Chains A and B, each alone.
Chain A
């Protein structure tokens, strides 16, 4: 009985601590900055005013559009590249390909902090010949992060469960190898694709360090960059900042709630 009470008490406290910052963020977005600093914990009626102040002070909508463009492109390309590779490594398995696979996995050990400087210089020199994929372009944000060994690994693991016999059936029906991939594999692996899509989209939507390094002009700003700038201002308007964070967090939170299962499945993919 005592154990019971302890369980509930501990979990309730943990849940409250986990949820409180969200609650504070949402409440603060409806209050005036002065009230936020006074520690007001009741919902106010200033949300619309905060929102219009926010839209006046920063380019919120362009930043949302930039983030959306980058994240959607990254997600589509990542899924295509990684699933082709994961499928290739598993279906056309050979000793040489397994060696390549293990070599690619080594890239998971490389921290991004170590890549940032050489990548910056690489895109700096590309800028001189091909400015459209050089520094301060979306292509420069997307290209280095679009292929991850983790996602290839994830697709390869999932392909192990894929019934290979139906590929044979497809070949007999006259499908080419690439046809088998697009007509049979992709439709069968919908759950794997949606798990991978969530993980990739979230990572891209929230990424900060590389865009900070490579995107220099204000009109290319993404949402995390915008929030970071707002958060470091000397005279912060708390209501406005919290409104921005609420808007930036909403897409991720929304996706999480409708696709919680796939999200967890995607996380688990790294353990298998």
Chain B
């Protein structure tokens, strides 16, 4: 006690201040590296991309063209196709996957269910595969003589092999099936852990009041899980807007441009065709704007229903 008191008495005012200043400096030095690197590799490139999006030309010979690239964007049939494809993936794949994941997690949350660990591990397992590896596997599974066609033919569900990868419609189906396979278990884990936090007595009370399983699911489970459903749908939406690895390795965007995505178009514009970095940057900004709009939209929707 005595030492502390003397210390406080002896130390003059400016010394405590300089100590605080020193601590602030130390605090900033802890966050310095991360801040510098994020500015250098995220924000600075975005500024560069904005400047590039107003330039045009091949390779490094870029000239200023103002908003011409943005005008070109709205009339570019390939870009419009990439947007259309992405929207199709979004409105079909994301809801299917989320409903499937919710449904599986509700089944798994049953306390009396046996082999729970086996089911959970098996359904979560696809998440450990690399996107490239599983894409190549699915490319062969969906091949014309692939195992999926062999199965469907044997079960007499189809009479002729489906042209999974060469028909514009079925190629999209193949991509959607593959993505759903990879990510359903991932989303399921989020729902499972949220379900485990729900107080069981709520369900008991609902059952006592004679609620049907459907009512319990839609009136209790879904509203309680809303924040986590929102979180997973935002991450899935952002993931789908950036889709690249799967399409590149399963269909390479084909047949024609039937499965091409925005990311792949940016890649093609920069590294496959004659490089047009300016226009590629313009397409990049289209994705950024879409991600911002979707995030705001999804927050709004969830916010309204909460109120």
Interface residues of A (CB under 8 A from B): 3, 7, 10-12, 14-19, 21-22, 24-25, 36-37, 39, 41, 81-82, 84-85, 87-89, 91-92, 94, 97, 100, 104, 107, 109-122, 143-144, 146-147, 149, 152, 177-178, 181, 202, 205-206, 208-209, 213, 223-224, 227-228, 230-232, 236, 238, 241-242, 245, 248-249, 252-253, 256, 260, 264, 267-268, 270-271
Interface residues of B (CB under 8 A from A): 23-24, 26-31, 33-35, 37-38, 41-46, 48-49, 52, 60, 103-104, 107-108, 110, 113, 118-119, 121-126, 128-141, 145, 147, 150, 181, 184-186, 189-190, 193, 213, 228, 231, 235, 238, 241-242, 244-245, 248-249, 252, 262-263, 266-267, 270-271, 277, 280-281, 284-285, 287-288, 291-292, 295
Q: Is the CB of A117 within 8 A of B137?
A: no
Q: Is the CB of A18 within 8 A of B110?
A: no
Q: Is the CB of B131 within 8 A of A208?
A: yes
A-B contact pairs, 23 of them (CB 8 A): A11-B123, A15-B119, A21-B181, A24-B137, A39-B147, A84-B31, A92-B27, A94-B24, A104-B35, A109-B288, A111-B287, A112-B263, A113-B267, A117-B49, A119-B41, A122-B44, A213-B270, A224-B131, A232-B252, A245-B136, A245-B137, A248-B130, A249-B128
Main secondary structure of the interface of A (DSSP, over half): helix
- CB proximity of B298 to chain A, nearest CB, Å: 13
The distance in angstroms between the C-alpha atoms of A181 and B266, with both chains bound, is 42
Q: Is the CB of B26 within 8 A of A116?
A: no
Q: Is the CB of A37 within 8 A of B41?
A: no
- CB proximity of A21 to chain B, nearest CB, Å: 5
Q: Most A CB atoms within 10 A — which of B46, B122, B135, B244? A: B122
- CB proximity of A177 to chain B, nearest CB, Å: 5
The distance in angstroms between the C-alpha atoms of A67 and B78, with both chains bound, is 34
Q: Most B CB atoms within 10 A — which of A11, A94, A236? A: A11
Residues of A close to B242: CB separation below 8 A: 111-113
The distance in angstroms between the C-alpha atoms of A55 and B147, with both chains bound, is 27
- CB proximity of A6 to chain B, nearest CB, Å: 9
Apart from A19-B122, A147-B38, what are 5 other A-B pairs with CB-CB below 8 Å? Answer: A14-B122, A25-B137, A88-B28, A89-B30, A206-B131
Q: Is the CB of A81 within 8 A of B34?
A: yes
The distance in angstroms between the C-alpha atoms of A113 and B139, with both chains bound, is 23
- Partner of A18 from B28, B132, B185 at Cβ < 8 Å: B185
- CB proximity of A216 to chain B, nearest CB, Å: 10
- Closest residue on chain A to residue B228 by CB atoms: A271
Q: List 9 tightest A-B contacts by C-beta distance, closest first.
A: A92-B27, A88-B30, A206-B130, A231-B136, A85-B34, A114-B284, A118-B45, A15-B122, A113-B263
- Closest residue on chain A to residue B232 by CB atoms: A271
- CB proximity of A25 to chain B, nearest CB, Å: 6
- Closest residue on chain A to residue B270 by CB atoms: A117
Residues of B close to A114: CB separation below 8 A: 46, 49, 266, 281, 284-285, 287-288
Q: Total contacts A to B, CB within 8 angstroms?
A: 251
- CB proximity of B198 to chain A, nearest CB, Å: 15
Residues of B close to A81: CB separation below 8 A: 33-34, 37
Q: Is the CB of B136 within 8 A of A227?
A: yes
Q: Is the CB of B108 within 8 A of A11?
A: yes
Q: Is the CB of B284 within 8 A of A113?
A: yes
Whether A228 contacts B248 in the complex (CB less than 8 A), given A24-B141, A24-B147, A113-B242, comes out as yes
- Closest residue on chain B to residue A176 by CB atoms: B26
Residues of B close to A107: CB separation below 8 A: 38, 42-43
Residues of B close to A208: CB separation below 8 A: 130-132, 244-245, 248
Q: Is the CB of A122 within 8 A of B31?
A: no
Whether A18 contacts B123 in the complex (CB less than 8 A), given A92-B30, A111-B291, comes out as yes
Residues of A close to B113: CB separation below 8 A: 7, 11
Q: Is the CB of B30 within 8 A of A249?
A: no
Residues of B close to A18: CB separation below 8 A: 122-126, 181, 184-185
Whether A205 contacts B266 in the complex (CB less than 8 A), given A15-B122, A85-B34, A117-B281, comes out as no
